[in-house]
Amino acid sequence: MHFTAEQRLEDGVVERRFTLGDIPGILWTPATTSAPAPLILIGHPPLGLDRMYPRLAGRARYYAAEHGFAAATVELPGSGDRPRWPAAEQARADLRRAVETGVRPVPGEIVDALVLPLVERAVPEWQAALDALLALPGIGGPVGYEGGVISVGIRLAVAEPRIRAAGFFAGSLVPAAMFEEARRVTVPLQVLLQWDDEGNDRQAALDLFDAFGSREKTLHANMGGHTGVPQFELEPGARFFARHLK
Amino acid sequence: MHFTAEQRLEDGVVERRFTLGDIPGILWTPATTSAPAPLILIGHPPLGLDRMYPRLAGRARYYAAEHGFAAATVELPGSGDRPRWPAAEQARADLRRAVETGVRPVPGEIVDALVLPLVERAVPEWQAALDALLALPGIGGPVGYEGGVISVGIRLAVAEPRIRAAGFFAGSLVPAAMFEEARRVTVPLQVLLQWDDEGNDRQAALDLFDAFGSREKTLHANMGGHTGVPQFELEPGARFFARHLK
């Protein structure tokens, strides 16, 4: 892990850009910490870190400045400046065509082709990032994961015992196979659902929530579309992680 | 309104028993207040204030001690020591029989007979209580309503302009007519749903949430049965009211 840039922001949070091999990432840490800060991994859709930066930094800085968490994210495979691969490009083109021609629900084979290889590639990378991040001074376990891609989060929550709580965003297309995997998730969950999400099937999201094996799981459904998660959801998210990571 | 008993509890909250005509009620006020405290009406099922006291006082004292709200509740018509009326007794007996013989869903005519007269009688009483409570020194509007019976809350939210926010508990049988009335609710809502509520149809609760006309509405669904609302839901409830009443 190499740090490539560092700045102290006006809220006192330190933002550091890093690379892990060829994977770019960002780490936010609180101004001061007495004990090692629990770490929250900030998930995001595969649209590139630069485009997602305002939303990711908003959440991460809130967690760090107001609640003393460290927060980190890495670029997903095939996003931002990272190399594409032909099958993923084909799946993205197929999805665009399905959406443009109003095919709903999006056919399962397109969802599978789009999401499953992303999960396969991304999860070991997030785990490698976790190894590197937890080796830094001032950052300690346990770890939380929050955001989408929910399928990446599901696989991580199942595969990675260092993750002790997850705040998922039920806003992406979910392969049928991930519903089965969801039954094996046992960590406490808080799931955000946008009730009128134009790109997401509400009933499928409720079915997925129902499928999770966790004994403690909470659904927060709010009005509005995909990007309309209310600002007031930041606080219960942080308090959820504080209950389980501190 | 006549106060019949007063005690200062160990958290500094003052608990006063009162009667309003022949209706018993309880008022909880914070230890100290600079400005008039916003008021939260604490709704409850028709099981009698004495039986409900621990749960009601737990919520009310938290609101008062931790967040500076006043909180109050009154006995529902036909509950506790208040006079029964034959049609309500008949409806309760019909419900018991339906539940015992496993008739599900509970037939609409039983739900209507049980809930609609309760709404008709209770709502003017809660409004009269509001008149009396808001005339007390140290208590000021705006007002919130929280809890069940959700149908009472719906009617109050529609009929009573002093109510500016409502935290409903989606845990009771709801007459079909109340779904229509729900569309006329416009105040901000936070709705609690117990995902495995043995006495409540989950899909009906989701349909009711969908029906509410409010632009800001949030659903918090948690695992467990009717009485299993997690302790950690107290805080987002209080913060919801703080956003809208302070």
> Is any Cβ of chain A less than 8 angstroms from the Cβ of B186?
no
**Which of helix, strand or coil describes residue A126?**
helix
Cα separation, B234 vs B219, in Å, equals 14
Give the pLDDT of residue A1: 96
- Closest CB from B209, B217, B223 relative to A216: B223
Each residue's pLDDT, cut to its tens digit, for chain A (246 residues) gives 999 999 999 999 999 999 999 999 999 999 887 789 999 999 999 999 999 999 999 999 999 999 999 999 999 999 999 999 999 999 999 999 998 998 888 999 999 999 999 999 999 999 999 999 999 999 987 999 999 899 999 999 999 999 999 999 998 899 999 999 999 999 999 999 999 998 788 999 999 999 999 999 999 999 999 989 999 999 999 999 999 998
Partner B contacted by A220 (CB < 8 A): yes
Alpha helix stretches (DSSP H) within chain B: 49-67, 86-100, 108-134, 150-159, 176-182, 202-211, 234-245
Chain A residues close to B230, C-beta within 8 Å: 216, 218
Q: Do A220 and B222 touch (CB under 8 A)?
A: no
What is the 8-class DSSP label of residue A33? Answer: -
CB B223 within 8 A of CB B195: yes
Q: What is the pLDDT of residue B56?
A: 97
Smallest Cβ–Cβ distance between A222 and the set B218, B222, B232 belongs to: B218
The label of the residue with tokens 């084979």 reads A109
With CA atoms as reference, the chain A residue closest to B210 would be A195
Percent of residues in chain A assigned helix, strand, coil, to nearest 5 = 40, 25, 35
Q: Are A154 and A185 in contact (CB under 8 A)?
A: yes
Q: Nearest Cβ partner of A232 from B209, B232, B243?
A: B243
The answer to whether the beta carbons of residues B49 and B9 sit under 8 Å apart is no
Q: Rounded distance, CA B112 to CA B135, Å?
A: 35
Give how far B85 is from chain A: nearest CA, Å.
40
CB contact under 8 A, A222 and B217: yes
From the CA of B162, how many Å to the nearest CA of chain A?
24
Q: At CB < 8 A and 24+ separation, what contacts does B93-100 make?
A: B95/B173, B99/B199
B215 to chain A: nearest residue by CA? Answer: A223
- Rounded to whole angstroms, how far apart are CA atoms A85 and A81? 12
Closest Cα in chain B to A228: B216
Selection from B73, B60, B3, B70 nearest residue B30 by Cα: B70
Of B218, B230, B235, nearest to A239 by CB-CB distance is B235
d(CA B98, CA B106): 6
pLDDT tens digits for range A132-171: 999 999 998 799 999 989 999 999 999 999 999 999 999 8
Q: Where in chain A are the domains? A: 2-81+119-245
Q: How far apart are CA B163 and CA B127, in angstroms?
A: 10
Q: Phi/psi class of residue A205: alpha, beta or left (left: φ > 0; alpha: ψ in -120 to 50)?
A: alpha
Are the Cβ atoms of B232 and A221 closer than 8 angstroms?
A: no
User: How far, in Å, are A32, A155, B192, B244 from residue B145 at the CA level?
Assistant: 41, 41, 13, 12
Which residues in chain A are closer than 8 Å to B221, comparing Cβ atoms?
A: 209, 218-219, 221
Residues of A in contact with B232 (CB under 8 A): 239, 243
Answer whether A35 touches B (CB < 8 Å).
Answer: no
Residue from the list A210, A221, A223 with its beta carbon closest to the beta carbon of B215: A223
Report how far apart, in Å, the C-alpha atoms of A173 and of each of A44, A150, B219 are.
Answer: 13, 9, 22
User: What is the distance between the alpha carbons of residues B185 and B91, in angstroms, rounded to a whole number?
Assistant: 27
Residue B231 token pair: 């302790």
- The sign of the dihedral angle between the CA atoms of A58, A61, A67, A73 is positive
Query: What confidence score (pLDDT) does residue A93 get?
Result: 95
Output the CA–CA distances (angstroms, integers) from residue A112 to A119, A174, A176, in the order listed: 10, 8, 8
| Average pLDDT estimate for B5-25 | 97
- Which of these, B137, B13, B149, B148, lies nearest to B69 by C-alpha position? B13
Q: Which fold has domain B2-79+120-245?
A: Rossmann fold (3.40.50)
CATH of A2-81+119-245, one of 3.40.50.1820, 2.60.40.1120, 3.40.50.2300, 3.40.640.10: 3.40.50.1820
**Is the distance from CB of B139 to CB of B133 less than 8 angstroms?**
yes
Per-residue confidence (pLDDT) for residue A187, from 0 to 100? 98
